[in-house]
Structure 1
Amino acid sequence: MSDDVINRKKLYYVGNLSILMIGLGFAIRANIAPNLQADIYDKIDLASSAAAVGSAMGATFTGFALTLLLGSALVDMVGMKRMLLLSALAYILSAVGLFAATMMPYDGGADTVVLISLLLTGLGWGAVEAASNPMVAALYPEEKTHRLNILHAWWPAGIVIGGLLGVAISYFELPWELNMIILVMPALVLAWMVATSAFPVTERVASGASYGDMFSELLKRPLFWVFWACMFLTAAAELAPGSWVNITLSNIVGMQGILLLVYVSGLMFVMRHFAGPVVEKISSVGLMFISCLLAGLGLYLLSIATTPFTGFAAATIWGIGVCYMWPTMLGIVAERFPKGGALALGLTGFAGGLSIQFVLPKMGAIFDSAKAEAAGGIDKLAGLSGAELESVIRFASVESFQSVAIVPLLLLPVFGLIFYFDRKKSED
């Protein structure tokens, strides 16, 4: 396609809207997780309801990981346009499915409908990442990390919008199912914008690199797989606590946990616009080292926060820590392995999605085990109420967050060594 057909500015808006849509979906899932647990999973099995809702939420990340893996390998053939149209359709069908589940008896397969609907949001999410990341890399090859950070700033923007709307729905005691309408609106706009736009080819195709070159770039460069493993852990530090925040932090600090998520997301939206100057000063890998340090500290402090003030202070440290993680990891891969193309970016995102599929249910299992322990057994747990139940739930919340706090700290020696060798190489 000729340059006058490709409207770079419009396509960047398309990318921003697609990321905003998946951020909005993330907030809505956090909004409705307590409702799904209370209305469906508690009635099925109170003792394992937290693990059940964690597994259901984890299905989103399974769909995300699978679509990102397959879609990134096929985006050159399918095209960015079809991939983004698929994402919009998946979000629309997901909203319809979740709404339908609310009208079904809890023993009539409602849990299966919820699982399929959340899986669809994951498929749409993966399709967005499979198309938007290589699209922005192709549109702005000279400033990939900076532009990818700005692109992914619209993820927390979506969380802010979805979170605040969810709080308003709860505050005015409106039906929580209204969240489904909010989920559909950006998907409809995205479908229209994509349908009326022309898209570029990926950077790999534009450079003339073959599929064989793309696979060779990844198979013969072991450092790529080091970063792949790092993405597995950084995603766990960012996305798993974010998905779990409304269930757990509400019990820890005595306020709606979604408000903390909204605050952190607003912080991330602003900070990601300044990724370029930060990377110029300390490098992408140096930024990841600092991010992991702050993320681990912030998660631990979140687990021991007891008031809204300490909750916000801890959330600030965690938010600064996780702010740059996802887009900067993508930027590192795009810059160091350009021949890897969309597949390299997709595999990196796949590691993030795969991570949450394992970590989120694990947090739920830790939560269930801790609340049973604190109550003195499952039988006693079922009979608790009021202040006694609140105390048990708070203990379980602390345990589930502290279990994740160690994850980003494991990466400090990895990023530290890569930073050291990068500096040494530049000095030679």
Structure 2
Amino acid sequence: MSASLHVSVVRPKLLTALSYGAMMSLAIGLNLLPVFLTTLSARFGGEAGLSNEQLGRLGASGFAGLVIGILITGPLADRRGAKLFAVGGNVVMAASLVGLAWCPTYGGMCALLFWLGLGAGMLDMVLSPVVAALNPERRTRALNWLHSFYCVGAVVTIGLGTLVLGAGGGWRAACLLLVALPAGLAVAMAALKFPALSADGKRTRMRVLAREVWFVAAMAAIFLGGATEAGLAQWLPAYAEKSLGYPVWMGGMALLVFSVAMALGRMAVGAAGGRMSPFAMMAWGCGATVVLFVAGSFFPMRAVALGACVLAGFTGSCLWPTLLAVTADRYPNGGASMFGALAALGNAGGIFMPWLVGWVADLLDLHWGLVVAAAAPALMLPLVLWMRRTNGVNAAG
């Protein structure tokens, strides 16, 4: 069989599996740096180390690349197809990791972290619509599995980085070990044909979607879903250490277990298939997460409080990917631009809520700051119930 015949037919199962692997690759771009902040501070800052602002600039560089990657990829993927950006995102990440392993200057680190984030943003934008297009009859299942592999990738990245440090290795060794994943995925994906990102290749324009009340509600809901995840995840180590009195290592372990709980939650939804309404799953997830946020913030036994925080990773895990799935089901012609708009709002929620938690914590304390994050799933619940009630009515596309 010729090579041209190999790429003339879409292979849904193989490409879906490679997309799951690419979601792990994406996780490298967002989870590698925090493990090595102390190491990089000493490497580039001399005896005094880098300032907190300089360390923050490293993280901000990666996040800036992520946002720009998402914003530019959505419209271009609708015009050029998903393959260019799925393969290109992995190539950019692999090249950035190699560059980071040998980078001699702080300025170079900022630039390369930007490119690492850009590659991650390209993947973040394109993987969900690709998997949705490959699995039109089971989008909720497939997208929850897809996003569970982000959590798996986060655990692998953090775990590998910690092991490298424990074995006496450093930033360079970790980068070179991790480069194999995006490089291998780029080669494997280059040999495959990708599906069109909208049904029959006919895309519903964003200006049409923006006039749909249901779609506006979905945008608000995913903003709250992103806020639910990040509001707790960003503050969990500090909360465990400063408010619950656990040692520093325990805060890091809590975040690791939180990521595992999120992965297991998304896998459980994926395994459940169509046995439960996706709207019902989101509603139960919202309600349970509110209860766990309150328990985690104020329960008098610190072990129970920390356990509630970790378990909230499980109950809140389905909100983002399931919301993507039900929106894609309602608007199958939305294309990559629709997924880009949803991802942008979800990430905006992930930026806003950690800031709000910190602001309230400065006014009162971190217990009250953390319980404010419960407002996100509480507000998402009535939106999800309304969306369930009106789903299928006057849908565009």
**What's the TM-score bracket when you normalise by the shorter of the two chains?**
0.7 to 0.9
Distance 1:263 1:78 in 2: 39
Distance 2:322 2:217 in 1: 15
Match of residue 323 from structure 1? 317
Distance 1:406 1:152 in 2: 25
Match of residue 388 from structure 1? none
Q: 2:205 aligns with which of 210, 214, 220?
A: 214
C-alpha distance after superposition, 1:87-107 (max 9, x if no partner):
112212432454455x43xxx
Distance 1:177 1:307 in 2: 42
2:253 is equivalent to residue 253 of structure 1: no
C-alpha distance after superposition, 1:166-220 (max 9, x if no partner):
2323333432443322431211111111122221222x2x42424xx33244122
Distance 1:182 1:248 in 2: 32
Q: For residues 354 and 89 of structure 1, do their structure 2 counterparts lie closer, same or farther at Cα, with a shift above 3 Å needed?
A: farther
Distance 1:299 1:59 in 2: 31
C-alpha distance after superposition, 1:308-348 (max 9, x if no partner):
94475134322113311221121122122222222111111
Q: 1:72 aligns with which of 71, 74, 87?
A: 74
Q: For residues 417 and 67 of structure 1, do their structure 2 counterparts lie closer, same or farther at Cα, with a shift above 3 Å needed?
A: closer
Distance 1:163 1:305 in 2: 29
C-alpha distance after superposition, 1:245-295 (max 9, x if no partner):
556646652124332233223233333223157685653333333333444
Within 5 Å, which residues of 2 pair with 1:68-107? Answer: 68-100=70-102, 103-104=104-105
Q: 2:59 aligns with which of 53, 57, 60?
A: 57
C-alpha distance after superposition, 1:110-132 (max 9, x if no partner):
1x434333322321122112222
Match of residue 107 from structure 1? none
Match of residue 232 from structure 1? 223
Segment drifting more, 256-265 vs 342-351? 256-265
2:108 is equivalent to residue 144 of structure 1: no
2:174 is equivalent to residue 179 of structure 1: yes
Distance 1:36 1:311 in 2: 33
Q: For residues 8 and 277 of structure 1, do their structure 2 counterparts lie closer, same or farther at Cα, with a shift above 3 Å needed?
A: closer
Match of residue 350 from structure 1? 344
Distance 2:301 2:174 in 1: 28
Q: 1:337 aligns with which of 327, 331, 335?
A: 331
| Contiguous gaps of at least 5 residues in structure 2 | 393-397
Contact 2:42 2:49 survives alignment (8 Å): no
Contact 1:231 1:352 survives alignment (8 Å): yes
Distance 1:185 1:80 in 2: 22
| Contiguous gaps of at least 5 residues in structure 1 | 105-109, 374-394
Segment drifting more, 21-30 vs 221-230? 21-30
Match of residue 196 from structure 1? 191
2:13 is equivalent to residue 20 of structure 1: no
C-alpha distance after superposition, 1:9-56 (max 9, x if no partner):
22112101100112233332332245446666894775xx1x654454
Aligned sequence identity (%): 22
The letter for the 2-side match of 1:209 is: K
Q: 1:409 aligns with which of 368, 372, 375?
A: 375
The letter for the 2-side match of 1:352 is: G
Q: 2:163 aligns with which of 168, 179, 195?
A: 168
Contact 1:62 1:353 survives alignment (8 Å): no
Q: For residues 121 and 288 of structure 1, do their structure 2 counterparts lie closer, same or farther at Cα, with a shift above 3 Å needed?
A: farther
Deviation of residue 74 (structure 1)?
1.6
Distance 1:170 1:85 in 2: 30
RMSD: 3.7
Distance 2:321 2:95 in 1: 28
Match of residue 265 from structure 1? 259
Contact 2:290 2:378 survives alignment (8 Å): no
Distance 1:38 1:305 in 2: 39
Q: For residues 421 and 75 of structure 1, do their structure 2 counterparts lie closer, same or farther at Cα, with a shift above 3 Å needed?
A: closer
Aligned residue for 1:339, secondary structure, equals: coil
The letter for the 2-side match of 1:193 is: A
Distance 2:288 2:174 in 1: 32
Distance 1:4 1:317 in 2: 45
Distance 2:81 2:32 in 1: 29
Contact 2:36 2:171 survives alignment (8 Å): yes
Match of residue 395 from structure 2? none
Q: For residues 97 and 208 of structure 1, do their structure 2 counterparts lie closer, same or farther at Cα, with a shift above 3 Å needed?
A: closer
2:281 is equivalent to residue 287 of structure 1: yes
Q: 1:128 aligns with which of 119, 123, 127?
A: 123
Normalized per residue, which structure has more helix? 1
Contact 1:87 1:127 survives alignment (8 Å): yes
Q: For residues 32 and 44 of structure 1, do their structure 2 counterparts lie closer, same or farther at Cα, with a shift above 3 Å needed?
A: closer
Aligned residue for 2:163, secondary structure, equals: helix
Aligned residue for 1:141, secondary structure, equals: coil
Deviation of residue 140 (structure 1)?
0.9
Distance 1:40 1:58 in 2: 17
Aligned residue for 1:10, secondary structure, equals: helix
Distance 1:263 1:161 in 2: 12
Contact 2:30 2:62 survives alignment (8 Å): no
